[in-house]
Amino acid sequence: MDDDEAFRREVRDWLAANLTDEVRGAGGPGRENEAFAQRLAFARRLAAAGWSTLAWPVAHGGRGASLRRQVIFHEEYAESAAPSRVDHIGITMVGPTLMDHGTEAQRARFLPAIASVDELWCQGYSEPGAGSDLAGVTTRARLDGDEWVLTGQKVWTSLAHVADWCFVLARTSPVVEGEPRHRGLSYLLVPMRQPGVTVRPIRQLTGDSEFNEVFFDDARTSADLVVGRVGDGWRVAMATLAYERGAATVGQQIGFQRDLDDLVALARGNGAAADPAVRDRLTRAWIDLTVLRSHTLRSLSAPSPPPGNPSVVKLLWTRWRQGLGELAMDVLDAGAPPEAAERWRKFFLFSRADTIYGGSNEIQRGILAERVLGLPRQARR
């Protein structure tokens, strides 16, 4: 335990020495383009100090930190108001996927560049006709000699405009009637900077454009850049999603706590807290966030995650953020400085998407109903 406290001091001291005002508090949901160049430089300093790959095994260039130390790092990172990470897709999703499912050649090619933040990644899952229904993707990939040729469209692709690579779920063989639709999908690693890839930013309600639609028009990638077996992309894709929800969620929830604290301060300052209904909703928000944090810590410390836990956590935190955004609009009715008003309006607008991206809440409830509770499968049209 004393060693863990020494580790906490080490993290805290490093952040105090390296954080600057230009990146402090920058980025986050709805603000991913904010101070991007400065956040990228900070991510590379984190990487050089060995913090980025704290959770990676030593054999793959990481520090092999215990879960407790991972939690400590994310707690301190969030408490210090360090910036939103620009490398999180590579570090938390692609890297672990390659470690468990990639070839030695793939690991040798990609892991060092991910660890050093020399290459950034984006995720090519959702499509206009297949958002949360990933089994319905229609982007196709066919072999042409020693290359895959991709044709199709992806959408809501976060940070595609700055990414060097994309991991793409594509159909490499047609759907066979009577068989599950997810068969025949493959997980491909595709370079973004090539003539066959077009990235078009999507303007959001907030006025920003941090996610995009991506078009593959005979885009190419090497035949050996399939992760896992050809046609087994569904299994690999689901593994990637599981890696996404690890110890970093603790830091996310500390950020939620900071948002709540700031809203409480605003309500006290503008007199909104004099309203018993507002005080009751602020208290409920604190209780719900405490429950979410306790559930997360219990789940992380369990020998194996509870069935359906990622869906449960997604439902809890998205409803919490949307509720806080709605409460913030009521608090703003009593007045606020222009900067605070702009912040909370953006928070409210972006939170409307929380229950859609990353697998809509309707899909999450379906997963829990069918796979955890054993209820009959909902009829599909």
Quickly list DSSP for 275-304.
Answer: SHHHHHHHHHHHHHHHHHHHHHHHHHHSSS
Contact between 214 and 153 (Cβ < 8 Å): yes
Helix 276-301 and helix 309-332, axial crossing angle in degrees, nearest 10:
160
Task: Enumerate residues 6+ apart whose C-beta is below 8 A from 76.
Answer: 8, 11, 12, 15
322: tokens are: 């949307």
The alpha helices in the chain, defined as continuous H runs, are: 2-18, 36-48, 67-79, 88, 95-101, 104-115, 233-244, 248-270, 276-301, 309-332, 338-351, 361-367
The rounded distance, in Å, linking the Cα atoms of 322 and 342 is 17
Yes or no: say if 317 and 257 are a contact pair by the CB < 8 Å rule: no
The encoded tokens of residue 282 equal 């602020």
**Residue 79 is a catalytic residue:** no
d(CA 69, CA 7): 8
Find the catalytic residue in 32, 244, 342, 370: 244
Task: Name which of 215, 210, 204 is nearest 86 in CA terms.
Answer: 210
CA 13 – CA 7 distance, rounded (Å) = 10
In which element (H, E) is residue 150 found? strand 147-158
Neighbouring CB atoms inside 10 A of 87's CB total: 26
Which residues partner with 330 through β-bridges?
A: none
By annotation, the residues acting in catalysis are 244
